[in-house]
Chains A and B, each alone.
Chain A
Amino acid sequence: MNMWSSGRRVLHDLLRQPAVRSFSLSPAQNTVVVERWWQVPLSKVGSPPRLHPRRHRIYKLVEDIKHAPKEKMELILTQTVPKLGGRGDTVFVKKSVGRNKLLLQGLAVYPSPENKQMFAEELRLLREGKPEERIQTRTGQLTVALLKRSKLKILKMPSDEFQLTKEVVCRQFQKKLGVVVPPHALSLPFESVKDSGDYWCEVTVNGMDTVRIPISLVPYEDPSASYQRQLKTQMQQPQATTDVSETAAEEVVSAAAEGEAAVQAVSDATVEAEAGKDSGSQVSEAAALAGVSADQDQTAASTRMSQDTTAPPSDSPKKDDSK
């Protein structure tokens, strides 16, 4: 019987809801709540209680709700509001903001049952209704804008059976751009491809807007940090002495061939001509790495050069082919 053991104040706190209320949910109203110091003696049923003119007028302040922390009010937005949300979102805002800005300018409505039903209807139409009746959501519009200015770059897997299918593209979307694309919203012009090059795909947002996104399929490159560092150091070392454009091709080729015998450096000229496309892409990446500022590790570069034999697997088979 813990409830009764702590006195009338606790009882008052527990029975906080007033006796008569027209609406179901009434939050704490902004008033001064007082209580009598002296108890009024019980009167007979049917007759009013007799009040002493002074004793029963002595009050004690129970709480002044205007000093309590201000509560936030719940509203449903009808338009896109910066920092709050789009149409149909239920937000909690400060009462001053809600009353003086949102409700006055018609940007939001009260979450009455009728309004909530109306927005639920809209949401349902979005999911199940015909495409003509739907309205694009604010997040949908933002997604379309993001996709329009994005480009997908996919690295080919080192295995031979790598094929560019729908699932692969969906996964790459999720990994690289952070956009979840279900397979039914994606359409590829081809079934599956193996060669590197530029392609495109179409993504449908919310069943309404379609965006075309370019994909470029590039050969495999080790994304591990150690290999990237190697590339960077190779870029930076010869650049200190000779031109960038000439040595870019040379030192990449020379870095690849360092593990092998120095005699093979002579045939690098032929290798360069044949593997022009590959090296072209590698040069662009190496140039990009050189552009990024990083620590120079001259001493470690020598140790890394010994790893060159294992690091670029795509280079060595190609060099072997050329030979």
Chain B
Amino acid sequence: MPFHKYSPKIWEALKLKQGIYARLPKHYLKSLEQKDPSPVHWRPLGVQYRANPTTRQKERVQDVPIPIYYPPSSQDGLWGGEGWISGFRYANNDKMSTRLKKTWKPQLFKRELYSEILDHKFTITVTARTLDLIDAAFGFDSYILSTSKEDLNSKLGMDLKRAMLLRLARRNTELYPSDPVKREKVYNKYKQFEIPEEEAEWLGLSLEEAVEKQRQLEHKEPEPLFKACVEELVKELHVQKLSEPHLIENK
């Protein structure tokens, strides 16, 4: 007889379908699914089939990503998809020589980046690649809003994205409250990224944070039993009063 009802491999997925996890919003659960980040440290082939270089025959090829380690400090900065590549190399690049351990780490800088929507200067650890990506996206805000969660690969990045989208959704109250001209200009620039406020609230939250948020939403103060008993008594008395025969005094 099978040891478990369900295979342990699907226990994680099953856990998300019961209890409070099932009550989380659907768009949030969809965003939790893992997707592959775009290749950073390796060059993808991009095609499914190609001609073999030696035999010139058609063959099927697949992209095998290089496993990259993202240290916890990468979540506090914007590394632009870079991480540590730990593996081996051959000495003198020669297959027949010794195999040596090698770790490639990115070069980090602390830079001040200004966000137009949030009107604040953030000091973030970035890499040179991040700065290039910001230039390619024509702005720090555009970079954060247009990069997906997997490509950003950072909790700070997702928090910034959530803050920006919330501010855009609540633009009448929060976006440049004292400067309507600037507000219009900034809003028109980032209008294309706007999403509804309910979705923006849940964007980029970790599972624990989302569970806590849902719990807060569903939380109700426990009602004292006294009130319920009083109401019941009042109802009973009403019923009793109405069931007594109604005496009409004939005088």
Contacts and interface: CB of A to CB of B under 8 A. Distances in A.
Partners in one complex: yes
Interface of A: 1, 4-8, 11-12, 15-23, 25-27, 29-37, 40, 42-43, 49, 51, 54, 56-62, 66, 73, 95, 99, 104, 110-112, 114-115
B137 interface: yes
Interface stretch (B12-20, B22-30, B33-41, B155-163): B33-41
9 contacts: A12-B45, A22-B137, A25-B136, A27-B132, A34-B85, A43-B62, A57-B88, A59-B85, A61-B89
A49 B82 CA distance: 23
Contacts of A112: 138-139
Interface residues of B, number: 51
A22 B45 contact: no
Interface stretch (B50-58, B195-203, B212-220, B223-231): B50-58
A23 B137 contact: yes
Instruction: Tell me which of B42, B62, B89 has the highest count of chain A C-beta atoms within 10 A of its own C-beta.
Output: B42
B151 interface: yes
Contact of A34 (B42, B50, B53, B132): B42
Given A11-B50, A66-B128, A51 B64 contact: yes
B61 to A, nearest CB: 7
Contacts of B186: none
B148 A22 contact: yes
Nearest to A15: B46
A31 B40 contact: yes
Contact of B129 (A31, A43, A58, A95): A31
Given A11-B53, A22-B147, A29 B61 contact: no
Nearest to A13: B43
Contacts of B60: 42
Interface stretch (B101-109, B234-242, B243-251): B101-109
B148 A110 contact: no
Given A33-B42, A35-B43, A110-B139, 20 more contacts: A7-B53, A11-B50, A16-B43, A23-B136, A29-B132, A29-B133, A31-B82, A36-B64, A42-B61, A49-B62, A49-B64, A51-B64, A58-B88, A59-B85, A59-B89, A60-B93, A61-B89, A61-B104, A95-B135, A112-B139
B66 interface: yes
Instruction: Tell me which of A6, A26, A29, A31 has the highest count of chain B C-beta atoms within 10 A of its own C-beta.
Output: A31
B135 A73 contact: yes
A77 to B, nearest CB: 15
Given A27-B136, A29-B129, A4 B53 contact: yes
Q: Which 9 A-B pairs have the closest CB atoms?
A: A30-B128, A112-B138, A110-B138, A57-B87, A20-B38, A58-B88, A19-B44, A29-B129, A30-B129
A6 B93 CA distance: 20
A29 B40 contact: yes
Contacts of B131: 95, 99
